[in-house]
């Protein structure tokens, strides 16, 4: 009986987490060799304030996420896994990989 109630409670919590806006407002960005999102150009990603961006490392080479804007942030240098950052300040953020440089590997992140 007690286990059943605990199970039900766990399911309710999971359902709440899945439907919460924080969950829905996560944007994924691919980090590959040597680009963010796509091989050509400098992509722009726009997200609402409070959103979470998840950079997913899918390339073979090591990269990082270095962000400059209203807030500075920087991931570890990685070859797999992901780095997440919640953006609570509006503005434009220039994102680059410090290994490959802004001319080769950058993107613009707009937080509105």
Binding flag, residue 99, Cu ion (CB under 5 A): yes
In degrees, rounded to 5, the angle at the alpha carbon of residue 30 between the alpha carbons of residues 45 and 44 is: 15
* Member of 63, 66, 87, 109 binding Cu ion (CB under 5 A): 63
Q: Which stretch binds Cu ion (CB under 5 A): 9-17, 49-57, 82-90, 104-112?
A: 104-112
- Give one word for 50, left, alpha or beta, with left for phi > 0 and alpha for psi -120 to 50: left
Binding flag, residue 97, Cu ion (CB under 5 A): yes
Q: Which of 15, 7, 53, 62 is nearest to 43 (CA)?
A: 53
Among residues 25 and 108, whose Cβ is nearest to Cu ion? Answer: 108
Q: Which residues bind Cu ion (CB under 5 A)?
A: 34, 63, 97, 99-100, 105
């Amino acid at each position: 009986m007690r286990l059943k109630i605990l199970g039900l409670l766990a399911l309710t919590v999971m359902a709440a987490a899945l439907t919460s806006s924080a969950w829905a407002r996560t944007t994924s960005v691919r980090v590959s060799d040597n680009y963010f999102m796509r091989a050509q150009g400098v992509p722009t990603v726009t997200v609402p304030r409070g959103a979470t961006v998840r950079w997913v490392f899918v390339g073979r080479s090591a990269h990082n996420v270095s962000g400059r804007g209203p807030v500075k942030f920087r991931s570890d240098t990685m070859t797999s896994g992901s780095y997440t950052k919640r953006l609570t300040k509006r503005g434009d953020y220039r994102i680059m990989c410090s290994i490959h440089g802004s001319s080769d590997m950058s993107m613009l992140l707009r937080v509105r």
